[in-house]
Structure formats: C-alpha cells, structure tokens
Amino acid sequence: MVAETRLYDALSVSPTANQDEIKKAYRKAALKHHPDKNKDNPSALEKFKEVSQAYEILSDPEKRKVYDQYGLDFLLRGGAEAPPSGGAGARAGGMPSGFGGMPGGFGGIPGMGGGGTRSFHFSTGGGGGGGGFSFSNPESIFADFFKQGGAGMGDDDDIFAQFTGGGAGAGSRNGGGRSRFRESGGGGGRRRMPTPEVTTVEKPLALTLEELYKGVHKKMKIKRKTYDDGDGKRKVEDKVLEMDIKPGYKAGTKIKFKGVGDQEEGGTQDLHFIVQEKPHETYKREDDNLRMYVDLDLKEALTGWTRTIPTIDGKKFTLSKGGPTGSGYTETYPHQGMPNSKKPIERGDMIVEVRVKFPTSLTLAQKTHLKDIL
C-alpha cells in the first residue's frame, strides 16, 4: 500500500511497476511530450517536466521507497518530521507545478526498516537548502536517461542525438548543453529559459543570366531529416519547395524558407537559397549593366571592322568602325542590360568593349614595311 500515486499516474504505471516498466513508460512519455516536438504547445513543456521529475524519483530505489511510504510533499519538505499516519499530506488534485523543486535535506526519517533512523542526503538539483533534495533540470534527466541506455531499446544514441545535437554530454547535468530550464537563485526552483534559436542552412541556387533576366519559377526537391511521431526514430523525407525568381535578381540574393529544413534542438531549421550566376559565354554582369567583348586582330583594328552585337533579350545591332580602333574602346547601348529587380521597367546598359590582339611575332620584312607606312 503506497501513500499516494501521483508520480505513478504521471507515467501511467502501477505502483507495483518494476524498473523496466518505469523506464519504458518514461521513454514513451518523454519522447511524446519533448518540447522539440511540441514547440507551439506550452502544456507539453509542463508535461515533459512532470514525467521527467516523476521518473527521477521512481527510478531511484531510495527516493521511491520514501515516496511510497510518506508521499511527495513529505519528500519535498525535506522530512523534517513524519506525517500523520494514513497519508503523506499530499495536496488534492493533480501533480504540483513542476513538483515545486523545494529545497531542504532529508534529515532522519523515522520508522524506516524496523525502527531506528535512516538518513538520506540527496543532492540532485543544486537547490539552495542545506544539501537537500531538489529536482534536476528535466532536460538533464532526459539526457542522462538516454546516455545510460534508456529502456534498452538499442537506438537510444540516435534518438538522443535528435534532441541534443548529438554531442557527448549535450544537455546533461555536466555537459553544458543548452536547456529550456534552469535553476533560479537561492531557492532550488526552476524557471524556463528561452528556447534555443533554430539554425539557418544556406544552399547555393545556380541560375543562368537569361533566367535572371526574364525571371523564372523554380521547383526544388530537398531531403530533410525529421522523426517519426510514434517511435521518435530518425527518418529522411523528400520535400518540394517552389519559388519565384524575379527579373533582375543578383548574385547573393537570398530566397528564404522558414521551418522547412531538418528538425533539431529548438525547432526546425530555416533554409535560405543564395542566388549564384552561372558563367555566360557572351556577357559579364556588372550590377545592372552587361559587358561584352569584341576581339580584333591588328589589321582590323587599323583598317576597320564590323560586328553583329546580340542583346540579352534576343535583339541584334550592327557595330562598325573604320579604324583605327584602340584596345579598350567602348560603345554603350542604353537600357539593353539587366532589369532592376525593384523597378523592373528600368534596365541597365550594355557595354561593348574592344580588345585588340597583337601578333606574337613579325618577320623582318613585315617590320620594315610597317615602319614605312606608319
């Protein structure tokens, strides 16, 4: 006969449950109510705290024995004196908020095992009392549970990594991992810390200059890591993202998707696609302007030349010069460049630049002839 069943009820187990049954019940409840799987559900955070703290007591044979005989309130008061016979002085109703996290030590608890006094000195939460019991951080309880093998299911390392980021000791009592809970000063209680910010993953999005000129609708298939709601196991799923590339987007432009990446501690990753321009065989982009080159040999540069100049939108211009034309000479075609992404009706210019290729060698006769005519 136990004094009360609040902690057993939190884990949905019988007071006669053995340690394996308690472990399995906690494993199931903790995965179900873990804040990372319920970031928009504050009640899940409280439920996670309750089942973790219930497990902390019921998984320890000494704490469980005291709880079974005297009840939770006596345990939290520090056992200053035995409660009246017939009950533990438990409050009516459900489990207390976070079980209180009250400081204070276990002094002599009378009546344990055939008379005499048995002393307990639990120091599990760093409370402010005289070395007494207070609850550990719920995420530390969860982390330690899986680090120690959990319920012997064989996949605890993988499951634990989903909620802690995978590092050794992450989220544990000694590991320094980030947590939603922390101790408040002095009284051994707990208060919620802000949820860690989710990370942002950046991926390149290579586009042709023509796509950036006209604009295009893109569908991108990505693979994202998530976990099964039933057993918490890691899985990979496909997701299709659709995006509109506006005319005039430049390299470095970010196209942002919120909450579509891998699920991790703190929530689901954001995904940013960063525009990259594929090299073009004709044009080099300079902000909203386009530059192209016309290569002339020395004879053309001296005597004259004609070229057909294409534009990014398919038009053609004829460019002719009678010569001589120096290397670096430019001809500008206004409003034939790239559109402005913020003002699509405005366009940059197209700049045509001449490059003169000089011969690498000349015969003596050629040199003599050039000297005579120049």
Q: What is the pTM of this model?
A: 0.48
Between CA 301 and CA 71 the distance in angstroms is 100
247 touches 270 (CB < 8 A) = no
Given a cut of 60, is residue 100 above it in pLDDT? no
Cβ neighbours of residue 273 closer than 8 Å, sequence gap 6 or more: 202, 203, 204, 205, 220, 243, 254, 255, 256, 257
In the chain, what percentage of residues exceed pLDDT 70?
71
- The candidate with the shortest Cα–Cα distance to 142, out of 32, 230, 249, is 32
Residue-wise pLDDT tens digits, 299-312:
999 999 999 999 99
Residue-wise pLDDT tens digits, 186-232:
444 444 445 556 688 999 999 999 999 999 999 999 998 887 777 77
β partners of residue 217: 244
175-178 contacts at long range (C-beta below 8 A, 24 or more positions apart)? 175/143, 177/139, 177/143, 178/265, 178/266
Q: Which residues of 24-61 are buried (b: 16+ CB within 10 A; e: fewer)?
A: bbbbbbbbbbbbbbebeeeebbbbbbbbbbbbbbbbee
β partners of residue 292: 352
Q: What is the pLDDT of residue 163?
A: 56
- Count of residues making up the chain: 374
First to last CA, the chain: 118
Residue-wise pLDDT tens digits, 262-288:
887 667 889 999 999 999 999 999 999
- The candidate with the shortest Cα–Cα distance to 288, out of 216, 342, 208, 354, is 342
β partners of residue 356: 296
Between CA 137 and CA 143 the distance in angstroms is 10
Residue-wise pLDDT tens digits, 123-148:
334 344 444 457 888 888 888 887 66
Given a cut of 60, is residue 179 above it in pLDDT? no
Least confident window among 56-70, 204-218, 323-337: 56-70
Between CA 12 and CA 39 the distance in angstroms is 23
DSSP string, 162-230: HHH-S-TTTTSTTT----SEEEPTTT--EEEPPPPPPPEEEEEEEE-HHHHHH-EEEEEEEEEEEE-TT
* DSSP three-state, residue 305: strand
| Sole residue written with tokens 């990446």 | 261
- The candidate with the shortest Cα–Cα distance to 184, out of 138, 97, 126, is 126
